[in-house]
Structure 1
Amino acid sequence: MFFALPSLLLAVTLLVIVLGSCTLGVLIGRRLRGHHEPWREPIGVIQAALLGFVALILAFGLTMAVGRYETRRVELVTETNAIGTTYLRAQTLPEPVRSQSLELLKRYTDLEIRLSTTRPGSPQARRVIADGQTIQRQLWALADDSLQHAPTATAPRLYVDSLNTMIDSQTSRVAALGNRVPTSVLILEVVGASVALALLGRYLTVLGRGLLPVTLAAVFVTLLLLVTFDLDRPTRGIITVPYTPLTELRASMDLPPAAGGG
């Protein structure tokens, strides 16, 4: 639900929900001011306990989002290394498998770069993954031809091993891109923060305090929620997974091959 929203709309939605709950709490507090004196202390205790619980939930969600973000970065570097190793070993293959494999690996790297800018689970992402799997099958068929012609040669065997690692690394990366913080956790964060801030606004208003503390708390919680949500949107937003390793690898592929082939 939240993952499909554009970044600006997501920020506005969170701000409206949080500020709206604060406003509701302030309005209720104004109506109850002076009429519920015996309840002030119990409500304050409940408010403090609820704020502590919400703080724990927010910290838990942020930790989950950061962990998934770091996993995506690691998987991207791992896949980049796997493609780079496969490209280098493809240069040692005999012709015409060598030239065909090198060209397919360039196209495959272009697709992986495109995957870094498409929303996981979207039709565009599924199309990119399908195109990549097609190239994987073509590369595997060429590797099989190379092994058939030289079953005891070292170069084709090393190339097949790196190609298998490259295919596996793409699967791991796609899984990492789609491994998001559960929606139920995000909803719990938003609902819990809204309820806690509404009670805070009500409590401070009953005490006759100003609106500045409530407003600052609402802004801070909104920013924390936005960071948590943005970390879980790896291909768009403010905090994205950098794909510089892939672009640098692709640029190196435009240079003349280092090996002349078998």
Structure 2
Amino acid sequence: MFFTLPSPLLALILFLIVLGSCAIGVLVGRRLRGHHETWREPIGVTQAALLGFVALILAFGLTMAVGRYETRRVELVTEANAIGTTYLRAQTLSEPVRSQSLELLKRYTDLEIRLSTTRPGSAEARRVVADGDAIQRQLWALAADSLRDAPVASAPRLYVDSLNSMIDSQTSRVAALGNRVPTSVLILEVVGASVSLGLLGLYLTVLGRGLLPIMLAAVFVSLLLLVTFDLDRPTRGIITVPDTPLTELRVSMDLPPAAGGG
């Protein structure tokens, strides 16, 4: 649900939810201000306990989001290295497999760069993955031809090994892109933060405090929720996984091959 929203809309929704809960707490607090001696202690105890619980939930959700973000970065670098190794070893193959494989690897890298800007699970992402799978099958067929032509040569065998690693790395990267923080955890964070800030607004209003502390708390909690949500949107959020390793690799592929064919 949250994953499909544009970042500005997501930020607005989170802020309105948190601010709305604070406003409700302030309104209720004004009604109870005349009985502050009766309500101050139970509201204060409940609000403090809930704030502590929500702090743990927010920290837990942020930790999960950061871990998944770091995994996606590692998987992208791993895939870039696997493609680069495959491209270098493809240069040692005999013609015509060499030229055909090099061209296919360039197209494959372009697709993997496109994957960095498509929403995981969308129709476009599935189409990019399907196109990549088709190129993988072509590369594997060419690798088989190279092995049949030179069954005892080391170059084709090394190339097949790197090609297999490249295919595996793409599978791992796609899985990492789709591995998001469970929606139930995100909903619990939003609901818990809203209720706790609503109680905070109620408590401070009953005590006759100003609105500035409530507004600051609402802003900071909204920003924390936004960062947690945004880290879980690796291709379309404000904090994205940089595709620099893939783009730099693609630029290097436009240079003349470093090795001649066997």
**TM-score normalised to structure 2 length:** 0.99
1:193 is the counterpart of 2:193? yes
CA distance in 1, matches of 2:47, 2:230: 28
- Contact in 1 for aligned 2:32/2:39 (Cα 8 Å): no
CA distance in 1, matches of 2:139, 2:182: 36
Q: CA offsets per residue over residues 110-140 of structure 1, 9 Å max, x none?
A: 0000000001111000000000000000000
Residue type at the aligned position of 1:65: A
Q: How many angstroms does 1:38 deviate by?
A: 1.9
Residue 37 of structure 1 corresponds to which residue in structure 2?
A: 37
Partner secondary structure for residue 117 of structure 2: coil
CA distance in 1, matches of 2:44, 2:28: 15
Residue 73 of structure 1 corresponds to which residue in structure 2?
A: 73
Residue type at the aligned position of 1:71: T
- Contact in 1 for aligned 2:147/2:156 (Cα 8 Å): yes
Q: CA offsets per residue over residues 37-93 of structure 1, 9 Å max, x none?
A: 222112101110100000000000000000000000000000000000000000000
Q: How many angstroms does 1:213 deviate by?
A: 0.5
Residue type at the aligned position of 1:219: V
> What is the 5 A alignment of 1:216-235?
216-235=216-235
> What is the 5 A alignment of 1:86-165?
86-165=86-165
Q: How many angstroms does 1:193 deviate by?
A: 0.2
Residue 254 of structure 1 corresponds to which residue in structure 2?
A: 254
Residue 172 of structure 2 corresponds to which residue in structure 1?
A: 172
Residue type at the aligned position of 1:97: V
CA distance in 2, matches of 1:38, 1:13: 35
Gaps of at least 5 residues in structure 2 are none
1:19 is the counterpart of 2:5? no
Residue type at the aligned position of 2:167: I
Residue type at the aligned position of 1:199: L
Deviating beyond 6 angstroms after TM superposition, the runs of 4 or more aligned structure 1 residues are none
Partner secondary structure for residue 33 of structure 1: helix
**TM-score normalised to structure 1 length:** 0.99
Residue 202 of structure 1 corresponds to which residue in structure 2?
A: 202
Residue 243 of structure 2 corresponds to which residue in structure 1?
A: 243
Residue type at the aligned position of 2:250: R
CA distance in 1, matches of 2:194, 2:34: 24
Residue type at the aligned position of 2:84: G
- Contact in 1 for aligned 2:58/2:189 (Cα 8 Å): yes
Residue type at the aligned position of 1:238: I
- Contact in 1 for aligned 2:36/2:207 (Cα 8 Å): no
Q: How many angstroms does 1:36 deviate by?
A: 4.8
Q: How many angstroms does 1:232 deviate by?
A: 0.4
Residue type at the aligned position of 2:90: A
Residue type at the aligned position of 1:24: I
Q: How many angstroms does 1:33 deviate by?
A: 1.0
CA distance in 1, matches of 2:59, 2:155: 50
